[in-house]
Structure 1
Amino acid sequence: MTTTRSLPRGEPTLTRLRVATTLFFALGGFLFAGWAVRIPALKEQVGASPGPLGLALLCMTGSAVLTMAVTGGLCRRFGSRQVTIAAAALLSVSVVLPALTHSAPVLGLSLIVFGIAYGGIDVAANSVAVDVIAALRRPVMPGFHAANSFGSLAGAALGGVLAPHLTPLPHMLLLMPVGLAATVVGGRMLMALPLPAAPAPARAAGVGSLARRVSVPVVVFGLIGLFAAYSQGALDNWMPLHLSEDIGAGQAVAAAGYAVIQLTMGLMRLAGSRLLERLGPTRVVVTGGLVACAGTLVAAQTNSVPVAFAALVATGLGLANIFPTAMAQAGAAGGPGGIALAATLGYCGILVAPPSIGLLADAFGLPAGLSLIALAAALAALVSWPARSLATVRPADRKGPT
């Protein structure tokens, strides 16, 4: 086992490392949201129907998932900080590529590069966070993920302001230098300071843990994570399009709808620890899944923008803590190997969300396609309730957000 040098919580070095890590989490959300809120404009630019657009989005999620599978090895070989910085730089540049395209196939090719960058920064930044958390001896991972949500909120808000005035290309050309500047600032902070190494068990499970990784609780919580990730990924990709095309909202209002989801999820994640302590993981997932299901159905069927926004608030509040809770429970059941398996299942949900909804939307309309989000949220609740005997909250989990 690797020995970790314990640093005082108030030491400036550790505080700056935490700030730098938070910056990269926020940057990933900011750049992704800046692209996501322009999907309606990009759809019009390339002249794609929902089906081809869904396949183009599949290129992004597919490349992201494949990159996630190999980024852990890259972090071990080159260092998690170095990979984080490289992925952030690539993400800042590749956000421009989709705005240069004028056909669905070329859009898909450009999104492969964007997906590689996004998948890389997702895993690498989390790897850095594991080391920082080990040194802090505090469960602050939800704070990092909340930063991602609030970064997404900022990106969506900026997109809402710029959408009526700029086409996607100048918008993305504004995001690129912001991303590169943040990468330089955050990268200098990361590389200039010593990064305490996390204990070996916190990084990967050994070969002997295979049975634990595929245990029934791990698979069950992994399925819950899959349904939650499916819902979140589908909302990111399709809800702005639904608001603009089916309800008749402008691009700025559609971007605001995306921002509403990110804001409610971010705020609810900050309260996640107290909810788990008071209600327990099963009630958090069941209640959240049912609320998200109802919210999505209302948002998909209404013709009123205010009603749709109220429904999106309910959807964000309901979904916020399902995925984090599922990952925490999988970790309690199977250790780091359990988290790895459950996370893989979760990202499979993100992978299949865009094409499945796109194909159903082609056949029956986007409101019908969005019903799959409601179904996934309901399935998360349905699976969680009979699995309540498998759920555990360890005393350590109660010290901070999960």
Structure 2
Amino acid sequence: MPQSRRGAGPVPVNRLYPLTVFFAADGVLFASWVVRVPEIKNQVDASATALGLALLCMTFSSAVSMYFAGGLCERFGTRRLLVASFPAVCACLVLPAFARTVVELGGILLLFGAIYGVLLVALNSAAVEVETATGRAIMSPLHGLWSVGGLIGAVIGGLLAAHLGTFAHLGLISVAGLAVTAGFAAPMLRAGTANAVAKAGAHEGKPADGRRTPVGMAVVLLGVVALCTAYGEGAVGDWGALHLREELGAAAGVASYGFGVYSVAIAAGRLTGGKLIMRLGETTVLTGGAVLAAVGILVTAWAGSLPLAFVGLLAVGLGLANMFPVAIAKAGAIGGSRGVGLASTIGNTGMLAGPPIIGFLTDQIGLPAALSTVALLALVAGGLGLLLRARAAGPAGRPEVRPEPADVP
């Protein structure tokens, strides 16, 4: 698979810090919304089904906007779109606090999701550009920072829940997000100007002659890789703790610790994933992670004891950690911001479909067998990674770049 983003000429590392701030801040924003969902459910007097439909509005609109966001990045510039969409997301963050009915909440979440989808594509497209300009594998660490931001947002939300209402809490986080925009918008845009020299190698959706980069089958297959990975992340996130409680008899607190182990493993795997990718290559990390995730979920699903299940969750988290970032980075390397948008759209359907499919299968074949489908899709993702590398190594492509250890930052 083409690996054009390495070696386009290094840019000083201090040019990268604005993007790391926006990734981490976005994690805080998203977690702050998530921890308030129970209060908002009571606020609009929604049943579980009605709340699920309202949340589906956000997922649907974000998937649609991701598809079109790549074109917006081409037209206005990735970093400009990032700087414009981030404060818009901050403003939308407080809107659910005003909802009084499920219908109102659904409409608000349609708007929220549409803007949030644009932000996600802009963030990931900017990361692809930085990878090209610096020759560093930074997509996984940036996703790790997003996870760290999510943890910080959840902790802050837990501390504030007993003292502030939903509007005050989300309003405070929104103002903090606007402050981040005010403080880091200019450095973000300056960093984009500094990277302009590398633009011919770092496509923003266009090759050097100005024509649009065609988004072909390779990007679609990378979207399927992202889908398979997101399916696993959604399934384990929503059903892992329940499995520990119902199948292994864990107490509620112990079950939550299991999810904590899984979450920390993903964050740690992504934060260290950049150096791992630079040493081993993207395809090796992707396929190795797929095998590790498959083994881990099978151990978790069929374990006869809690300690063994925890080991399995650790393996699942480490295995899945870098698969989604690698798929999105490769899609961006091939198709620019349009590649990021298309792969993100396809991948997002996996996050959407995973939990309900696991629920349906649980009623038919039991939760352990249902969770085992995560292993199947992880192996499909790994197989697609190998297939794409083989295609790229043929006469029409070029082999994956694997820097020497001395080049690792």
TM-score normalized by the length of structure 2: 0.73
**What is the match of residue 394 of structure 1?**
400
Q: 2:111 aligns with which of 106, 110, 113?
A: 113
SS in 1 for 2:205: coil
What does residue 25 of structure 1 align with? Answer: 23
In structure 2, relative to structure 1, the CA distance for the partners of 1:120 and 1:346 (3 Å cut) is closer
Q: Secondary structure at the match of 2:137?
A: coil
Moved more, 112-121 or 345-354: 345-354
1:141: which partner in 2? Answer: 139
Cα distance in structure 2, aligned partners of 1:350 and 1:157? 26
Query: In the alignment, is residue 288 of structure 1 matched against residue 292 of structure 2?
Result: yes
2:120 paired residue number: 122
Map 1:233-382 → 2, pairs under 5 A: 233=234, 238=238, 249=252, 261-273=262-274, 275=276, 277=279, 280-281=284-285, 283-291=287-295, 293-294=297-298, 297=301, 312-327=313-328, 336-337=334-335, 344-351=342-349, 353-354=351-352, 357-358=355-356, 361=359, 374-382=372-380
Aligned length: 379
Q: Is the 8 A contact 1:228 1:319 kept in 2?
A: yes
TM-score by length of 1: 0.75
Seen in structure 2, the aligned counterparts of structure 1 residues 341 and 97 have a Cα distance that, compared at 3 Å, is same
The answer to whether the aligner puts 1:196 opposite 2:162 as a matched pair is: no
Q: What's the counterpart of residue 38 of structure 2?
A: 40
* Aligned equivalent of 1:179: 177
Q: Which residue of 1 aligns with 2:233?
A: 232
Q: Deviations over 1:141-199 (max 9, x none)?
A: 33322222221221122223334554433321221111111111111322456442242
Q: Tell whether the 8 Å contact from 2:90 to 2:178 is kept in structure 1 after alignment.
A: yes
Which region of structure 1 is more displaced relative to structure 2, 123-132 or 275-284? 275-284
Give the drift of 1:398.
6.3
State the distance in 1 between where 2:240 and 2:105 align.
18
- 1:208–1:101 CA distance, 2 compared to 1 (3 A): closer
Cα distance in structure 2, aligned partners of 1:398 and 1:156: 39
Give the distance between the partners of 1:39 and 1:373, measured in 2 at CA: 25
Equivalence for 1:3: none
Equivalent position amino acid for 1:394 in 2: E
Which consecutive residues of structure 2, in runs of 5 or more, have no partner in the other structure?
1-7, 391-398
Cα shift at 1:126: 2.9
* Alpha-carbon distance, 1:283 to partner: 4.3
Q: 2:3 corresponds to which residue?
A: none
* Structure 1 unaligned blocks of 5 or more: 1-5
Distance 1:79 1:272, change over 3 A: closer
SS at match of 2:149: helix
Q: Once the two structures are superposed, what CA deviation does each residue of 1:88-138 show, in whole Å capped at 9, x if it has no partner?
A: 111112111223324333222111222123212212223333443333233
Query: Could you say which residue in structure 2 is the equivalent of 1:155?
Result: 153
CA–CA separation in structure 2 for the residues paired with 1:379 and 1:42: 34
Q: Which residue of 2 aligns with 1:97?
A: 95
SS at match of 1:395: coil
For the 8 Å contact 1:153–1:263, the answer to whether it is kept is no
